[in-house]
Amino acid sequence: MKCKILHESNDRMRVGLRIKYMTFEEADIAECFLQGLPYVYDAKVNERTSSATVWYDQSFRDELINELSNLDLKTVKVFVPDSSARQIKHTYQDKMFFHIAKRFVFRLILPIPIRRVRIYFRAIPYIIEGLKSLSKGKLEVSVLDATSIVVSLLRGDYNTASNVMFLLKIGDIMDEWTRKKSVDDLARAMSLNIDKVWVVTGDTKDKNCEVLMDINKVEEGDVIVVRTGNMVPLDGTVTGGDASVNQASITGEGIPVHKGEGSYVYAGTVVEEGEIFVTVKKTAGQGQYDRIAQIIEESEKLKSATEDKAFRMADKLVPYTFGATILTFLLTRNATRAISILMVDFCCALKLSMPIAVLSAMREAGQNYISVKGGKFLEEVAQADTIIFDKTGTLTYACPSVKDIVTFDGEDKDEMLRIAACLEEHYPHSMANAVVKAAADRNIIHEEMHAKVEYVVAHGIASSINGEKVIIGSYHFVFEDEGCDMTGEEEKFNSLPAEYSHLYLAVGGRLKAVILIEDSLKEEAKDVVKDLQDLGLKVVMLTGDSSKVAGKVAEELGVDDYKAQMLPEDKAAYISKEQESGRKCIMIGDGVNDSPALSAAEVGVAINSGAAIAREVADVMISQDDLEALIILRKLGTALVKRTENNYKTIIGFNGMLILLGALGILQPTTSALLHNGSTIAISLKSTTNLLD
């Protein structure tokens, strides 16, 4: 692409892209491409001027110039949401411009009689809305608007009626614009966070032909495979296999749906059990944005307790506004004063600013790599007094390392690791990732020679090789559930070092290897625990690990309480017990085994790199790399509650003052309407600002 450097200073460069008429789509593609470059901090593209402003690491100046020179907007592949924020901006800017321009033009060119007829026609929609509300037995803001307009027309005060409708329309445009922008910002933040998918390169029955591929390289018509516990990354049609799919996030169905050959599956749904081969119908990004935006719009989860209180209060205050209007007219016999009161309602500001405050807080959470599924969860986070951690992959690094492999019955270490990696590679969890990485580090090729793999939640994985059953997992799964033995190897088994986590591998009912996992604590874990305690939270650790390992970690972290050798149902039971004692709990986990506890807690927080089911049932997702996001989450929740309460008080106080000034005759109806709409817009815009800046 031909481009020219227009201005340059330090780590900022402004470039002219030499496109005469840049479309919204081209601007979005260019912006997403530049933002995706590893050395670019941020990039903004202005389609009106066909220019881009880039903030970047100056040591990569030549690379940036080279990328800009070779950029072809028609062929470059980048993920761009279906809806464009800039399109929303242009749409509402145009609406506002034409609404204001039309008013001044008509005042200049239309004779007064025609303008008055036009005012009557413009009043009809407001009157109809008011009558609809009355027909339902409700006194809502539409009745206030209709009454003020009708009274002004009956008095022959055409200027007041016209001004009121003009200001109401501006308020409607601003309200809709602000909300659309908030939803758009949030929808963009709620991506699926899937980078890689298993693509079948041959016959779907041949499991040796699966390749792990970047999701952006998958094309329509490719076949992908999705197994138990994983999220469906792309829309498509099932061409093989059977599975139970949880699609509550898309359709709202509470019960998993069976998917067989010919069924359609949606990106973002989760395979709870089974395995399916999916022919891709929509590639990355297509169709996801609109679905997410619709879910956000319709979700009752957006309404926190504070919002509900504000909504109920707004509706209750309408009759009082009417009462004040009638009383003022009876006492003063002044219709202008009465109309001034009608111009003021609490409904608009309360019902607009509260959801926008919630959407803005959720967007800000997204900026901090925290995805929140509803405003009520932020409020729950602020009110919680207990925070519960899973250990492995949560308090410890997401990719713990294999310290050693202890073999039994004379088995070879590399061969045992090869079998373990082959089983574990399809089920992303921190310990599974460690096994796969250890095999890769040793250049061990682990081709899939096993039969169909079965994942047993919180226990392990079962399959068969050459007709022999192979299992890998916890002590409970291998020895208690499956009845495997180690006869003759007891001394070696009992000498296994307790400071490591143990992953047991058995073949044909005999223990063949124990993989020792070194589970280092995250660097920030200890400080995060202390900070959470300083914020008034009781910190608890629940783990399926041994008492010795759990005790060592708990002592190092300084948690208030811990429990070891916990099964999934035990974790959920612990939370229920805490709730029965009157406590509110936040649960943080990353595995399939954490799902029951995540569901049981007031707020379930999943690690982004964890199992898809955990992310599906959780209310909040955080980045795998930084537990300090939990501190931000707590502060955001507290700040949101404070903002909504302040909005509530400000709206009631300011509009109450307008009503009083109108009753005293200090404010004219047009002035009341202007101040009321202006305050609504101002409070709503203030609600879109960041809480933690």
- Burial of residue 344 (CB within 10 Å: 0-12, 13-18, 19+) is buried
Domain that holds residue 236: 196-287
Say if 615 falls within a structural domain: yes
Q: Rounded mean pLDDT of 294-306?
A: 53
Residue 184: pLDDT band by 50, 70, 90 thresholds? low
Structure confidence at residue 624 (pLDDT): 57
pLDDT of 289: 47
Beta strands 386-390; 585-589: pairing state: parallel
CB 488, CB 480: distance < 8 Å = no
* 143 and 50 co-located in one domain: no
pLDDT band at 405 (very low <50, low <70, confident <90, very high): very high
| Pair 406, 514 in one domain | yes
Q: Is residue 407 part of a domain?
A: yes
Instruction: Return the residue matching tokens 């009956």.
Output: 154
Predicted pLDDT of residue 187: 59
Query: Does the structure show a pLDDT above 60 at 81?
Result: no
Q: Do residues 508 and 579 both lie within one domain?
A: no
Top-confidence range, 151-160, 271-280, 448-457: 271-280
Per-residue pLDDT averaged across 369-381, rounded?
81
Check whether 3 has a pLDDT greater than 90: no
Higher pLDDT, 440 or 302: 440
pLDDT at 345 over 70: no
If one compares 255 and 150, the residue with the highest pLDDT of the two is 150
pLDDT higher than threshold 80 for residue 564:
yes
598 pLDDT more than 50: yes
Residue 42's alpha-carbon distances to 12, 53, 56, 68, in angstroms, are: 10, 8, 7, 15
In the predicted structure, residue 139 carries a pLDDT above the cut 70: yes
Q: Which residue has the higher pLDDT, 616 or 659?
A: 659
Q: Strand, helix or coil at 46? A: strand
Question: Lowest-pLDDT range, 4-18, 153-167, 348-362?
Answer: 348-362
Residue 412's pLDDT is 92
Look at residue 561 in the predicted model and tell me its pLDDT: 93
What is the rounded distance in angstroms from the CA atom of residue 321 to the CA atom of residue 338?
A: 10
Q: Which residues of 265-297 are buried (b: 16+ CB within 10 A; e: fewer)?
A: bbbbbbbbbbbbbbbbeebbbbebbebbbebbe
Which residues is 237 bridged to in the sheet?
264, 279
> How many residues would you count in the chain?
693
Residue 636, Cα to own-chain centre: how many angstroms?
15
Q: What percent of the chain has pLDDT over 70?
A: 82
| Band (452; pLDDT cuts 50, 70, 90) | low
Residue 102 and residue 170 in one domain: yes
Maximum mean pLDDT: which of 244-253, 294-303, 316-325? 316-325
Exposure string (b/e) for 216-227, b if CB count within 10 Å is 16 or more?
Answer: eebeeebbbbbb
Domain boundary among 518, 540, 574: 518
Say which CATH number the domain at 70 has.
3.30.70.100
Which range in 58-67, 474-483, 532-541 is most confidently predicted, on average pLDDT? Answer: 532-541
Count of structural domains, the chain: 5
513 and 532 both lie in a single domain: no
pLDDT band with cut points at 50, 70 and 90 for residue 190: low
Average pLDDT on 67-76 reads 84
Co-location of 179 and 305 in the same domain: yes
User: Within a 10 A sphere around the Cβ of 441, how many other Cβ atoms?
Assistant: 11
Which region among 24-38, 422-436, 505-519 has the lowest average model confidence (pLDDT)?
Answer: 422-436
In CATH, what number is assigned to the domain containing residue 422? 3.40.1110.10
Indicate if the pLDDT at residue 208 is higher than 50: no
Query: Which distant-in-sequence residues (6+ apart) come within 8 Å of 578 by Cβ?
Result: 386, 388, 585
Does any domain span residue 83? no
Q: What is the mean pLDDT of residues 550-559?
A: 88
The percent of residues in the chain predicted with pLDDT above 90, rounded, is: 15
Look at residue 610 and tell me whether its pLDDT is greater than 70. no
Q: Are residues 534 and 602 in the same domain?
A: yes
> What angle separates helix 669-687 from helix 629-663, to the nearest 10 degrees?
180
Q: Which of 26-30, 322-326, 582-586, 612-616 has the lowest mean pLDDT?
A: 612-616
236: CATH: 2.70.150.10
Element (H, E) at 18: none
> What pLDDT, on the 0 to 100 scale, is given for residue 348?
64
Q: Confidence band (pLDDT; 50, 70, 90) for 518?
A: confident
pLDDT classification of 53: cutoffs 50, 70, 90: very high
User: Which tokens belong to 674?
Assistant: 């202007």
Distance CA 37, CA 27 (A): 16
Residues 612, 510 within the same domain: no
What average pLDDT score do residues 2-25 get?
85
Say what the pLDDT of residue 300 is: 43
Average pLDDT, the chain: 80
What is the maximal distance between C-alpha atoms in the chain?
Answer: 107
Which tokens belong to 473?
Answer: 């997992």
Residue 689's pLDDT is 84
- Shared domain check, 231 and 258: yes
Domain finish residue from 227, 261, 287: 287
Please check whether residue 597 is in contact with residue 388, taking contact to mean a CB–CB distance below 8 angstroms: yes
Residue 52 contacts residue 32 (beta carbons within 8 Å): no
- The SS3 call for residue 288 is helix
Contacts of 270 (CB under 8 A, 6+ apart): 229, 230, 231, 232, 245, 246, 247, 612, 613, 616
In a domain, 294, yes or no: no
Averaged pLDDT, 445-462: 67
pLDDT for residue 475 = 85
Does 246 reside within a domain? yes
Give the domain-ending residue among 24, 57, 78: 78
- Examine the domain organization and report whether 509 and 483 are in the same domain: yes
Predicted local distance difference test score (pLDDT) of residue 207:
47
Evaluate whether residue 632 is within a structural domain: no
On whether the CB atoms of residues 293 and 340 are closer than 8 A, the answer is no
Kindly state whether residues 166 and 305 are assigned to the same domain.
Answer: yes
* CB-CB contact of 532 with 424 (8 Å): no
| Banded model confidence at residue 581, pLDDT cuts 50, 70, 90 | very high
**pLDDT for 158:** 84
The verdict on 107 and 252 lying in the same domain is: no
pLDDT of residue 358: 79
Instruction: Tell me which range, 68-82, 415-429, 611-625, is most confidently predicted by mean pLDDT.
Output: 415-429
Say whether pLDDT at 363 is over 60. Answer: yes
CATH number at residue 565: 3.40.50.1000
- 487 in Cβ contact with 511 (< 8 Å): no
Residue 658 has pLDDT above 50, yes or no: yes
Q: In Å, what is the CA distance from 463 to each residue of 466, 485, 547?
A: 10, 18, 29
Query: For the segment 83-102, what is each residue's pLDDT rounded down to a tens digit?
Result: 556 777 788 888 888 988 98
Q: DSSP label at 396? A: B
